[in-house]
Structure 1
Amino acid sequence: MRQDVVPSLQKARGTTLSDTQKTLSIFTDIKSLLKGPVLVANVLPVFTAFWLALYFTGASFSDHWGLFFLTMIGSTLVMGGALVINNWYDVDIDTVMDRTKNRPTVTGNFSLKTVLTLGIVLSILGFILLLFTTLEATIYAFVGWFTYVVLYTMWSKRRYAFNTIIGSVSGAVTPLIGWAVIEPVAHTVPIVLFLILFIFQMPHTFAIAIRKYDEYKAANVAMLPVVRGIKVTKVQMVLYIACLLPFPFFLSSLGTAFIVIATLLNVGWLVVSMSGFFIKDDKKWAYVNFLYSVNYISLLFLLMVIVTLPL
């Protein structure tokens, strides 16, 4: 279906837009294609881990400007390439779901061939830039790219409810990339960052899946709420969030202020998630959880940088 039906749909929709309108919307289309907010959220842990690696090794940031730019640009291109390829492959699903029906692959503003080419080119350029940092960092980037593009997008997303676990691995390797540029990942901090990101993504994604339950069901995507129900998903969300509680104490080297604030953030999210057992409006509750999760992970990784700033 994806290869035969969608191109004709693209053609039909594409003719409704004037050249001027297409030109004016090009920025929005590119942002949608790269999944701007998702891309930014994945780049932040790379920066944080890079910063912390410098902090714990006693290295100077000013002496590593070159590595910093190679790392940030290279990792951004790799992740951007993976997200673009995801758009290319999921175009048939995106035509069904309201949240994705305005993506340029669906509207026809970009052809599928163009999108696939862009995704491949961005990925290759990103890997080339990362090879100028360290091989270990490049390997972590490839693991994340392969997991997201092949194991998640092309294999598990449409078939298995555990697709979220696989997808979470790809998002969790980002701090390993940033750390490995400075020194090998044989330290408690990058491992804990990996685990935090891995666990965080489970309830974060479940919240999205509950909120967009009808759309995922219509698109036949095997998200947990669709396969096993919303009640089971709520229970798993609480369990995953509870697993985050010990991690601030494994990062005690970041100081007491970090432990206290991170713990309060964890407890706050746990309370919000547990309220789902007493609230009837599941979609509204899921949206609150989604907003909390986005702010939670951003604040947590920014806080790691703030508490290690030189006084």
Structure 2
Amino acid sequence: MITERSVAGRPPGDTGDAAAEARRDPVAILRAYLALCKPQIVELLLVTTVPTMMVAAGGWPDLRTLAVVLIGGAMAGGAASALNCYIDRDIDQVMRRTKRRPLPANTVTPRSVLIFGLTMAVISVALMAVFTNWLATAMTAGAIFYYDVVYTLWLKRRTPANTFWGGICGSAPVVIGWAAVTGTVSPLGWALFAVVFFWQMPHFYALAIKYKDDYARAGVPMLPVVRSIRRVNVEIVLFTVLTVAASLVAWPLGLGWIYGAAAIVTGVAFLGEALLLVRRTSTGQPAKPMRLFHWSITYLTILFIAVAVDALI
């Protein structure tokens, strides 16, 4: 087992002068708790949630509902991320990509992070319960539980299918937003859920290719660690095609030509980037997987902006 002593080379209580100084700095503490919430991930979740709420409402949703879902959703995402950091603090210490996170850096204590994450989780679910409806509330609570217990504690360290099954909670904000507006989820809501679900595989496989050695060092069986690059390439192309297909399925379910044009153009570009990565990795060229990783974010952002624009016109 990876221990604090074995990684840091000192007793668990000896965090070093830099960490001790950081714990006395209120600004450093604030930054640490913000980092624990993984704001980039929360931001991306909200980028998909707001447009979905707009199309569910046929325009701007009720402002109180919008504010509650934005605040509650951000807190739920932050809570799930903080608890993920608490659970994964052992492997974060040995991965170059994550060793500067607040817990490996000893800026905050595990107990503080656990209390912080659980408190935010309770508040987020309470907000949804008071101001939305039972379906949105249940989905919010279920997403937090699934991400931290089912995915982080169980699937992530046991199966190379972790990214696939973890995609469920990553897609949940779409249907939570829809349910908060309507009290149910229509076929269009589920189609948009499918877009985000399938999108996560090429997005995270690209990241896993980049940090393959990190994941191997930590003993996390990400697909590029335990399967051949040929297998990884097949899944990247397969799930990119499914992402684009799901986006096109959503079109006739209630979206107009602005969305349709965006889905076609960005879908072709997304598939082109995936095929470019496959060609590079298959021929021994420098893979540059982060190019696909960053483009996938651009793709999803443009697509859901088109959803919002379509809802307003």
Q: Return the TM-score normalized by structure 1.
A: 0.91
Instruction: Report how far residue 282 of structure 1 moved.
Output: 5.0
**What are the ranges of 5 or more consecutive residues in structure 2 without an aligned counterpart?**
none
Per the alignment, in what secondary structure is the counterpart of residue 181 of structure 1? helix
Pick aligned residue for 2:66 from 45, 68, 80: 68
Does structure 1 residue 289 correspond to structure 2 residue 292? yes
Please tell me the residue identity of whatever aligns with 1:130.
Answer: M
**What are the ranges of 5 or more consecutive residues in structure 1 without an aligned counterpart?**
none
Please tell me the residue identity of whatever aligns with 1:16.
Answer: A
**Coordinate RMSD, CA, aligned:** 2.1
For residues 232 and 184 of structure 1, the distance between their equivalents in structure 2, rounded to whole angstroms, comes to: 41
Number of positions where the alignment pairs a residue of Structure 1 with one of Structure 2: 304
Match of 2:196 in 1: 197
Q: Return the TM-score normalized by structure 2.
A: 0.90
Match of 2:271 in 1: 270
For residues 303 and 27 of structure 1, the distance between their equivalents in structure 2, rounded to whole angstroms, comes to: 35
1:187-237 Cα deviation digits (max 9, x unpaired): 221111110011000111101100101101111101001011222111110
Match of 2:137 in 1: 138
Residues 266 and 115 from structure 1, CA distance in 2 versus in 1: closer, same or farther, beyond 3 angstroms?
same
For residues 278 and 137 of structure 1, the distance between their equivalents in structure 2, rounded to whole angstroms, comes to: 42
Match of 2:248 in 1: 248
Match of 2:110 in 1: 112
Residues 231 and 12 from structure 1, CA distance in 2 versus in 1: closer, same or farther, beyond 3 angstroms?
farther
Match of 2:14 in 1: 12
1:1-311 correspondence to structure 2 within 5 Å: 1=1, 5=5, 11-17=13-19, 18=21, 22-55=25-58, 61=61, 64-132=62-130, 133-246=132-245, 247-252=247-252, 253-279=254-280, 280-284=284-288, 286-310=289-313
Instruction: Report how far residue 14 of structure 1 moved.
Output: 4.4
Identity %: 28
Instruction: Work out whether residues 144 and 173 of structure 1, in 8 Å CA contact, stay in contact via their aligned partners in 2.
Output: yes
Instruction: Report how far residue 291 of structure 1 moved.
Output: 0.8
Instruction: Work out whether residues 104 and 110 of structure 1, in 8 Å CA contact, stay in contact via their aligned partners in 2.
Output: yes
Instruction: Work out whether residues 37 and 81 of structure 2, in 8 Å CA contact, stay in contact via their aligned partners in 1.
Output: yes
For residues 99 and 232 of structure 1, the distance between their equivalents in structure 2, rounded to whole angstroms, comes to: 24
1:173-198 Cα deviation digits (max 9, x unpaired): 11111111121334221111110011
For residues 19 and 162 of structure 1, the distance between their equivalents in structure 2, rounded to whole angstroms, comes to: 38
Instruction: Work out whether residues 276 and 282 of structure 1, in 8 Å CA contact, stay in contact via their aligned partners in 2.
Output: no
Please tell me the residue identity of whatever aligns with 2:28.
Answer: S
For residues 240 and 76 of structure 1, the distance between their equivalents in structure 2, rounded to whole angstroms, comes to: 27
Please tell me the residue identity of whatever aligns with 2:309.
Answer: I
Instruction: Work out whether residues 52 and 307 of structure 2, in 8 Å CA contact, stay in contact via their aligned partners in 1.
Output: no
